[in-house]
Structure 1
Amino acid sequence: MTREEKAVIIDELSQKFANTPYFYITNAAGMSVSEVDSLRRLCFERGVEYRVVKNTLIKKALETLDTDYSSFDEVLKGFSGVMFHPESGKVPAQLIKEFKKKSGSDKLKFKGASVDTAVFVGESQLDVLISLKSKQELIGEVIGLLQSPAKNVIGALTSGGQNLAGILKTLSEKED
């Protein structure tokens, strides 16, 4: 690979890292061709882009960004693949866990991830990433919490009005 080709790949990766808030670095060494095909198919079905890239190119692309990704230096060894997802930080984590379960092997390893510039390193972080809520889920919860008191007040007022009307009706019928 020539320097120009490497520069093009680094530039593409830099733009991809800058424009995609969710990316994962994995290790798929030792996987058979059929396992890699299965992984790529699963990625395609979930809207995850999967690319195998040299560690030095990943490292140089990350160095061009404003965020400090130096904690990835320890995991950028051996075979590395990068998963990009434009909308959710937990879809790739769920995909990795599901692939491990389906294949019955532990060949696909999670090295690290960046979720909205927060860095997660190590296999132990996979469950943490799966439990993360997306921005849309958090916004929905906040809206639900904000609507709850208003709904309670309206509910109390309408039910109280119905009770009062029922009492008045009963009293007026008794007088007759």
Structure 2
Amino acid sequence: MTREEKSIVIQDLTTQLGENAHIYLTDISGLDAGTTSNLRRACFKAGVSLSVVKNTLLAKAMEASDKDFAELPEVLKGNTAIMFSETGNAPAKVIKEFRKKSEKPLLKGAFIEEAIYVGDDQLDNLVNIKSREELIGDIIGLLQSPAKNVVSALKSSGGTLAGIIKTLSEKEG
């Protein structure tokens, strides 16, 4: 690879790092072609982009990026595959599901919304991160709960003013 080609790869990686808030670094070494193909298919279905990168080029892209990757460049040893996703926990779920049949991929580290996770032992924590949509759903559910209670109280009391006052006084006591 010429110096010019390396420079282009570093620029592309720097752009990808800048555009993605959810970045996973994994080790897929030792997977045969068929297993790697299955992993790529699983990633595609989950909306996760997977590509194998050279550690030195990725380290330079991390340096050039505006983001603070803290100790993540230190995990760039051996074979490294990088995963990008719109959803913070999607790559973790793919890895966890895939490891039911295979020992790999191993999680080296992750960058999730400016938080750094290092080590394969962080996989369960990453799987449990809620996506933006899940958090919005939880908030809507919490906001709807008091309204549903008021509506059911109004229905149960027959809707009369005396019934409403009685229901409210019972709830306070």
* Partner SS state of residue 110, structure 2: strand
Read off the aligned partner of 2:83 and give its amino acid letter: M
Read off the aligned partner of 1:3 and give its amino acid letter: R
* Partner SS state of residue 121, structure 2: helix
**C-alpha separation between the residues in 2 aligned to 1:158 and 1:44?**
49
Read off the aligned partner of 1:96 and give its amino acid letter: I
Q: CA deviation at 1:66?
A: 2.4
More off after superposition, 18-27 vs 30-39: 30-39
Aligned to 1:98: 97
Aligned to 2:143: 146
Aligned residues: 163
Read off the aligned partner of 1:58 and give its amino acid letter: L
Q: Deviations over 1:113-154 (max 9, x none)?
A: 111121111001000010111011111111111121122122
* Partner SS state of residue 42, structure 1: helix
Task: Name the TM-score, length of structure 2 as normaliser.
Answer: 0.86
Aligned to 2:167: none
Read off the aligned partner of 1:73 and give its amino acid letter: P
Aligned to 1:14: 14
**C-alpha separation between the residues in 1 aligned to 2:97 and 2:156?**
48
Larger Rg: 1
Identity between Structure 1 and Structure 2 (%): 50
Task: Name the TM-score, length of structure 1 as normaliser.
Answer: 0.85
Matches within 5 A, 1:61-100: 61-86=61-86, 88-100=87-99
* Partner SS state of residue 157, structure 2: helix
**C-alpha separation between the residues in 2 aligned to 1:15 and 1:67?**
11
**C-alpha separation between the residues in 2 aligned to 1:42 and 1:163?**
57
* Partner SS state of residue 136, structure 2: helix
Q: CA deviation at 1:45?
A: 2.1
Read off the aligned partner of 2:15 and give its amino acid letter: Q
Aligned to 2:134: 137
Kindly indicate whether residue 50 of structure 2 is the aligned counterpart of residue 53 of structure 1.
Answer: no
Decide whether the 8 Å contact of 2:27 with 2:81 is kept in 1. Answer: yes
Provide the aligned C-alpha RMSD in A: 1.9
Q: CA deviation at 1:65?
A: 2.2
Q: Give 5+ residue unaligned stretches, structure 1.
A: 167-176
More off after superposition, 72-81 vs 105-114: 105-114
Match of 1:128 among 125, 131, 145: 125
Q: CA deviation at 1:36?
A: 1.4
**C-alpha separation between the residues in 2 aligned to 1:141 and 1:61?**
37
Q: Deviations over 1:21-53 (max 9, x none)?
A: 111100111121222122112222222111111
Q: CA deviation at 1:163?
A: 7.7
